[in-house]
Amino acid sequence: MDYLINGFSSALYLLTHMDAATLSAIYATIASTCYAMAAALLLGVPLGFLLGHCSFPGKRALRLISDTLLAFPTVLIGLLVYAFITARGPLGEYGLLFTLPGMAIGQAVLALPIVVSWTAQALEDLDPRCRETLLTLGANSRQLAMYALWECRYAVGMVCVTAFGRVITEVGVAMMLGGNIRYATRTMTTAIALETSKGDFAQGIALGLVLLLMAFVVNLALAFFRRRGRA
């Protein structure tokens, strides 16, 4: 147990003294996660709304595809995105491989099915009697859509938190597309994997504590807004 105690004490030292490698990994993680979540939410919430609220031909097939992609192997996502952004790929001219934006593309692909499917599910779980009541009162399609979005806002918030947690803890996609380059694309998860494999627990524990803190802050913020909305 001594190595764990020493690891925690060394981790606190790294955090309090602003270790450059640790701060770089934190920055790379936050930056790539923000890029990925912005893309996933901008695309996923509207698509999830269409699947959950609207009726159109092929809806069931699209929903089945989205639900199937929830179990899409992350290493395969990394491989496919790698093929697109490598120098010989269709997007190779943009130089995205081994960069934070390139890594964010893979993470966005990972988060997108979560946002789409769970947003659609949140809308489908709304009480249909409320929709019928609004129709009886003369509500138009726009008003129905606004009601649906308002009623499932906290469920969509939980979807965002879940997707955020999935992205920020991803290792395979970050490793394949980012290259785990120190002071550039090394994220907290890839740094933890690397340092632990070398037997250096201090930085791994330090970054693990930061990940826990970030998850706690995000969930605390969501709980605050939910409680405020119900007041």
**Confidence (pLDDT) at 3:** 57
Nearest to 51 by CA among 1, 126, 103, 118: 118
Are 181 and 98 in contact by the 8 Å Cβ rule? The answer is: yes
Q: Is residue 6 part of a domain?
A: no
pLDDT at 225: 67
| Number of domains forming the structure of the chain | 1
150 burial type by CB count under 10 A (0-12 exposed, 13-18 middle, 19+ buried): exposed
In a domain, 39, yes or no: yes
Q: Is residue 87 part of a domain?
A: yes
Q: Mean pLDDT across the stretch 196-209?
A: 76
Q: How far apart are CA 110 and CA 215, in angstroms?
A: 18
3-state helix, strand, coil split of the chain in percent (to 5) is 80, 0, 20
- Domain span at 84: 19-229
Model confidence band, residue 31 (pLDDT cutoffs 50, 70, 90): very high
Rounded average pLDDT over 14-41: 88
Does position 153 have pLDDT exceeding 70, yes or no?
yes
Q: What's the CATH number where 72 sits?
A: 1.10.3720.10
Domain-embedded: residue 3: no
How confident is the model at residue 167, as a pLDDT? 92
- The answer to whether residue 1 is domain-embedded is no
Domain presence at residue 5? no
Greatest alpha-carbon span in the chain: 70
Say yes or no to pLDDT of 230 above 70.
no
Residue 175 counted as domain residue? yes
User: Is 14 within the bounds of a domain?
Assistant: no
Q: What is the distance between the alpha carbons of residues 190 and 14, in angstroms, rounded to a whole number?
A: 17
